[in-house]
Amino acid sequence: MNQISIIGAGIGGLTLGNILKQHDLDFTMYESAPEIKPVGAEIMMAVNAMQIFDSLGLKEKIESRGNKIQGIFITDEKLRTISTTNVLALEKKFNSCNVAIHRAELQNILAKNVGFENIKLNDSLQQIQKNENYHLDFKNGLNIESKFVFGADGIHSKVRNQVLKTGKIRNAGQKCWRGLTDFILPEKYSHHALEIWGKGKRFGFVKISEQKVYWYALVNENKFEENLDLTEVFKDFDSLVLEILESTQKENIILNDIIDLAPIPKWCRKSLFNWRCTSCNNSEYGTRCLSIH
Ligand SMILES: Cc1cc2nc3c(=O)[nH]c(=O)nc-3n(C[C@H](O)[C@H](O)[C@H](O)COP(=O)(O)OP(=O)(O)OC[C@H]3O[C@@H](n4cnc5c(N)ncnc54)[C@H](O)[C@@H]3O)c2cc1C
């Protein structure tokens, strides 16, 4: 029997594994994929996330494999600033930076530190049931009993659906392309993340390492059609956008819907901490009260 099981070895599961390891807690992690592979291209780790990685001793490693981002800008089509987020002030306050990094790099750092031997691959959870302990049934016939289970199995989580019976997926009505290209940005954008707003469309880009630029492009669903030519869609944007698009190989572009999870009332079945809200004495939500007091 397992003491602790983690379902899913994405960024969430791997980070949790690192935290449990740091506390000398015994756990087993189950991942449905045959290998640890990145979902998407790049990710920006914000100052709050970097503080967690700092506490795990991984901050410098992540910073050195990615690119520190000191300013986040919203601009119009011609790169004229609409708003700025002053990341430097946050950096100073929390002694951590925003880091843009390839997802594969981040997952590799986290998986290496947790120990690849602690991650069981090809184990896809099908069913979870609570009796005295949790009973986990996997697609490949594996059956496990576990005292504690963490569901880190992503937005369509089976753990959340079956244990908490909650989770409404919302579709933003936007299509999103993400791409990675070998491209040298003008020096002034070396440590900036830009998001450019047009009518019913947006384009963002950021440097993630020497000569590598990550970009994303969004259009409202009503403007979407199969095999849309992005250089045509964004032809009224600054020429830098078109250069980035033109430099990208087709096989380095992925296309997804933009979805998220509507706020859920509960993140755990039962609080481990005898927690109660000091305003309403409610203990239902586990670690924080969702009522407005
Ligand atoms: C376009 C886009 C851009 C984003 N940009 C950012 C950003 O810049 N910064 C940021 O902080 N966040 C960003 N996010 C959000 C971020 O990607 C997610 O919050 C994060 O990946 C969630 O991690 P996770 O580990 O919870 O889930 P996932 O990354 O989805 O990992 C879940 C893992 O569980 C496994 N799994 C699933 N089902 C099972 C099962 N039944 N049994 C076993 N294993 C299973 C999957 O194979 C996967 O490995 C972005 C998201 C999108 C879509």
Residue spans of the domains in the chain: they are 2-67+103-167
Does residue 30 have its Cβ closer than 6 Å to ligand 1? yes
Residue 224 Cα distances to 121, 200, 243, angstroms: 36, 11, 22
The whole-angstrom separation of Cα 13 and Cα 263 is: 20
User: 2-67+103-167 maps to which CATH number?
Assistant: 3.50.50.60
Residue nearest to atom 12 of ligand 1 (CA): 43
Does residue 66 have its Cβ closer than 6 Å to ligand 1? no
Please give the distance, rounded to the nearest whole angstrom, from the Cα atom of residue 232 to the centre of ligand 1.
Answer: 31
Alpha helices in 66-194 (DSSP H): 87-94, 103-114, 158-159
Residue nearest to atom 41 of ligand 1 (CA): 125
Which residues does 229 contact at the CB level (< 8 Å), separation at least 6? none
Does residue 154 have its Cβ closer than 6 Å to ligand 1? yes
Does residue 6 have its Cβ closer than 6 Å to ligand 1? no
Q: Which pLDDT does position 271 carry in this prediction?
A: 63
Residue nearest to atom 9 of ligand 1 (CA): 44
Please give the distance, rounded to the nearest whole angstrom, from the Cα atom of residue 38 to the centre of ligand 1.
Answer: 9
Q: Which pLDDT does position 266 carry in this prediction?
A: 81
Which residues does 193 contact at the CB level (< 8 Å), separation at least 6? 44, 69, 71, 72, 73, 98, 100, 204, 205, 206
259 CA: nearest ligand 1 atom: 53
Gyration radius (Cα) of the chain, Å: 21
Q: Which pLDDT does position 242 carry in this prediction?
A: 98
Q: Which pLDDT does position 293 carry in this prediction?
A: 65
β-pairing, 71-75 with 81-86?
antiparallel
Q: Which pLDDT does position 39 carry in this prediction?
A: 65
Q: Which pLDDT does position 58 carry in this prediction?
A: 97
Per-position pLDDT tens, the chain of length 293: 999 999 999 999 999 999 999 999 999 999 999 988 766 678 999 999 999 999 999 999 999 999 999 999 999 999 999 999 988 888 999 999 999 999 999 999 999 999 999 999 999 999 999 999 999 999 999 999 999 999 999 999 999 999 999 999 999 999 999 999 999 999 999 999 999 999 999 999 999 998 899 999 999 999 999 889 999 999 999 999 999 999 999 999 999 999 999 998 888 887 666 667 777 777 665 556 666 66
